[in-house]
Amino acid sequence: MDRAEGTAPEGDAASPGRGRREVGVRERRLEEGEGQVAKRERAADQRERAADQRERAAQAVEEADKILETSQDRVRRTEASLNRAYAHAARQQASIARSVKRNEQQRDFTDLAHHVAALRERTAAAAARLAETEELVARVHDSLAANNPENPGHKRLANEAREAMRQAREIERKYSSS
């Protein structure tokens, strides 16, 4: 043993296997370190793939939201058109009622009936268009719900759209059957 340094010299006859053991220990440590590096690289690759998937999912949701917003705008415009048609029909009916009262002797029930029938047809057609739009909105929300099951809002909006479609179909039947 080297007394000045307090360690046995490598070439010391008292420890012939010690140097090989140390080399073996170093090699195992190197292999373990390489294994850990490989494991970290695999983990980093997995995180990168997961981030890519999240990004693609976010893009799909964003695109679906744009489609949904467009559909909702269309529904709002259709509803506004239907409301205007109702208001117009109400004004015309009020005007006709006033006209009928003023001109009781000159009324022409045939023209009035044709006019009311035309208004009913227009109302039924507007309700049919609204029902088709609501059906499309329901399908879009169903698709979004299928792609994003953790968001219950899509399913709720799909059900609301179906209910609006049912009401519009009911209005269509009411005004087209009479």
Distances (CA, A) of 2 to 5, 21, 63, 113, 164: 6, 20, 76, 123, 95
Task: Tell me the pLDDT tens digit for each residue of 67-121.
Answer: 878 878 887 887 888 789 788 888 988 888 877 777 665 556 777 778 888 889 9
- What's this model's pTM, rounded to 2 decimal places? 0.40
Task: Tell me the pLDDT tens digit for each residue of 4-60.
Answer: 444 444 545 455 567 788 878 888 888 888 888 888 888 888 989 888 888 988 888
Tokens, residue 176: 């087209």
Distances (CA, A) of 91 to 78, 97, 119, 123: 20, 10, 11, 14
pLDDT of residue 114: 83
Residues 160/84, Cβ–Cβ less than 8 Å: no
| Domain residue ranges in the chain | 18-177
What is the Cα–Cα distance from 41 to 131, expressed in whole angstroms? Answer: 54
Amino acid identity of 63?
A: E
Residues 148/154, Cβ–Cβ less than 8 Å: yes
Compute the mean pLDDT over every residue in the chain, rounded to the nearest whole number.
Answer: 82
Res. 160: pLDDT tops 90: yes
The DSSP element (H or E) to which 29 belongs, if any, is helix 18-102
What is the Cα–Cα distance from 27 to 162, expressed in whole angstroms? Answer: 69
